[in-house]
């Protein structure tokens, strides 16, 4: 089986000013100096440049939390892939459930955003995941398959290995309710099967779990064979907690 470097990403959501972001990075870097994992920080737009500069010379990557699919145009308030690439940002979260829920992010828009990110050498961190109602109705696989088929619909099979997929059950995000390691494994393995059926080199794709990951539960979740890392929200606001999750990977 091809080896997949563990991948741990800090999604700060709408937290941290530039000064707070700088303080976090300075506190984090010495704590993770020995890690072999890919570590990614996802600040708000205003702190991207500061985090890029502070981590220069390290292996830490920087990701935006969203982008528009067009390169330029009359889209007030939006930011495009070339704008992010110019800052030396390396990745971008796409399809986070908060964007789907509060900002009408659609799978059809994601089908355009994912190739637009890749075209500018931005690694898409594509988030998929079911609602509590869908899980209760035993529709988790159906939801995941629909999201993946549409969101990755604009890619050739060989491009899919360049995407990081984050399985984020909506009921576990910011709620303190974590999926069990078995639920995380089952969903991540299903995602890998869907990617394989699309013709992708699915053994090479990093698939993350996200949803109330904390230092106390990270090791067990991350030890599952198809869980290659974590997308972390709340616990990624504190450098000590985030470093402990990186250690667990």
**Residues assigned a catalytic role:** 96, 168
Among 232, 245, 248, 249, binds ligand PEP (CB under 6 A): 232
Question: Phi first, then psi: what are they for 202, rounded to 5°?
Answer: -65, -25
CB nearer ligand PEP, residue 12 or residue 190: 12
Query: Would you say 160 and 205 are in contact if contact means Cβ atoms under 8 Å apart?
Result: yes
Of the residues 124, 169, 229, 233, which one makes contact with ligand PEP according to CB under 6 A: 233
Tokens 């402990």 map to which residue?
Answer: 244
From 46-54, 117-125, 155-163, 231-239, give the range in contact with ligand PEP by CB under 6 A.
231-239
Give the range of 25-33, 76-84, 114-122, 211-219 binding ligand PEP by CB under 6 A: 211-219
| Interatomic CA distance for residues 132 and 221, integer angstroms | 20
State the minimum distance, in angstroms, from the CB of residue 91 to ligand PEP.
14
Nearest residue to ligand PEP, scored by beta-carbon proximity: 233
Which of 173, 179, 187, 195 is close enough to bind ligand PEP by CB under 6 A? 173
Residues 236, 214: Cα–Cα separation, whole Å: 9
Contact residue for ligand PEP among 213, 221, 227, 243 (CB under 6 A): 213
162-191 exposure pattern, b = at least 16 Cβ within 10 A, e = fewer: bbbbbbbbbbbbeeeebbebebbbbbbebb
Sign of CA dihedral 50, 53, 59, 63: positive
Scanning residues 11 to 40, which ones bind ligand PEP (CB under 6 A)?
Answer: 11, 13
Give the CA dihedral 222, 223, 225, 230, nearest 10 degrees: 10
The reply to whether 217 sits near ligand PEP by the rule CB under 6 A is no
Q: Is 63 in the site for ligand PEP (CB under 6 A)?
A: no
Q: Which C-beta is closer to ligand PEP: that of 88 or that of 238? A: 238
Q: φ, ψ for residue 161 (rounded to 5)?
A: -65, -15
- Of all helices (H) and strands (E), which one includes residue 148? helix 140-151
Site residues (CB under 6 A) for ligand PEP? 11, 13, 168, 173-174, 210-213, 231-235
């Amino acid at each position: 089986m091809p080896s997949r470097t563990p991948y741990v990403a800090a999604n700060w959501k709408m937290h941290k000013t530039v000064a707070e972001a700088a303080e976090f990075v300075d506190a984090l870097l010495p704590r993770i100096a020995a890690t072999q994992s890919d570590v990614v920080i996802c600040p708000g737009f205003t702190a991207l440049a500061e985090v890029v500069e502070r981590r220069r010379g390290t292996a830490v990557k920087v990701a935006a939390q969203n982008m528009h699919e067009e390169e330029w145009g009359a889209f007030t308030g939006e930011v495009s892939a070339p704008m992010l690439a110019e800052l030396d940002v390396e990745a971008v979260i796409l399809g986070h459930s908060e964007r789907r829920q509060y900002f009408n992010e659609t799978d059809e828009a994601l089908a355009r955003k994912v190739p637009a990110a890749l075209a500018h050498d931005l690694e898409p961190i594509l988030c998929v995941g079911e609602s509590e109602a869908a899980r209760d109705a035993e529709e988790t696989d159906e939801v995941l398959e629909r999201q993946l088929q549409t969101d990755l619909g604009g890619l050739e099979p060989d491009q899919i290995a360049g995407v990081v997929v984050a399985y984020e059950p909506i009921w576990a995000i910011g709620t303190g309710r974590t999926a069990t390691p078995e639920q995380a494994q089952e969903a991540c393995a299903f995602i890998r099967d869907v990617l394989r059926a699309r013709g992708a080199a699915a053994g090479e794709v990093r698939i993350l779990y996200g949803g109330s990951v904390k230092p106390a539960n990270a090791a067990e979740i991350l030890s599952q064979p198809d869980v290659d890392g974590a997308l972390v929200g709340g616990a990624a606001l504190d450098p000590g907690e985030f470093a402990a999750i990186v250690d667990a990977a």
